[in-house]
């Protein structure tokens, strides 16, 4: 004689709906928004001057920005960087011919969470954007208004230009 499990049998329709929700969540990651929202900027260090201009323009418009310059001496680089990427409402990546594995890793983190905003230095040909990111619309890094519109879609609101 077979023993029955205690409790009611699960409803197959509820199980099917639960599986559908889980599959949908995995295929379209939603950005994790926090009360202290910020954009993280990833860039090749050779292009620090480009990143500095972008960070300045975003801060001037009231966007909270974090980047590797926020790391302090003695910080565990990888764990601190992971925490910054995880908490970001948007990950802005600046593509150039100088792209590094770190920048690609940071872009992967943003893409996986649905928070990636891709930018390119002027004159960068699409073939120089790393494989896996070429199909994404890439904004010119100097087009701050377009970048602000992308950030707004991710919950970061700029102040009106003065």
CB 141 within 8 A of CB 118: no
More confident position, 29 or 46: 46
- pLDDT at 37 exceeding the cut of 70: yes
Number of domains in the chain: 1
What are the respective helix, strand and coil percentages of the chain, to the nearest 5?
A: 45, 10, 45
114 is a domain residue? yes
- Domain with 148 in it: 39-153
160 is a domain residue? no
Q: How far is CA 84 from CA 51, 68, 119, in A?
A: 17, 9, 19
Q: How much is the pLDDT for 26?
A: 46
> Which CATH number does the domain housing residue 149 bear?
3.40.50.10140
Q: How much is the pLDDT for 68?
A: 87
pLDDT mean across residues, the chain: 85
Residue 105, number of CB atoms within 10 A of its CB: 15
26 is a domain residue? no
Query: pLDDT above 90 covers what percent of the chain?
Result: 64
99 is a domain residue? yes
27 is a domain residue? no
Query: What is the DSSP track for 20-36?
Result: HHHHHHHHSPPP---SS
18 is a domain residue? no
Q: What is the pLDDT of residues 50-98, one digit of tens each?
A: 999 999 999 999 999 999 888 778 878 888 889 999 999 999 999 999 9
Q: How much is the pLDDT for 70?
A: 82
Q: What is the pLDDT of residues 98-129, one digit of tens each?
A: 999 999 999 999 999 999 999 999 999 999 99
């Amino acid at each position: 004689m077979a023993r029955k499990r205690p409790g009611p049998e699960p409803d197959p329709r509820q199980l099917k709906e639960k599986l559908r929700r889980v599959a949908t969540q995995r295929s379209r990651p939603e950005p994790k928004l926090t009360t202290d929202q910020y954009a993280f900027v990833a860039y090749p260090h050779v292009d620090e001057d480009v990143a500095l201009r972008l960070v300045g323009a975003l801060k001037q418009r009231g966007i909270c920005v974090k980047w590797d310059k926020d790391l302090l001496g003695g910080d565990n680089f990888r764990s601190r960087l992971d925490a910054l990427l995880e908490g970001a409402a948007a990950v802005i990546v600046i593509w150039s011919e100088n792209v590094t594995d770190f920048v690609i890793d940071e872009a992967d983190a943003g893409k996986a969470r649905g928070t990636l905003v891709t930018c390119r230095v002027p004159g960068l040909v699409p073939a120089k954007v790393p494989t896996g990111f070429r199909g994404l619309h890439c904004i010119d890094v100097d087009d701050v208004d377009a970048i602000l519109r992308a950030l707004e879609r991710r919950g970061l609101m700029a102040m009106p230009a003065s």
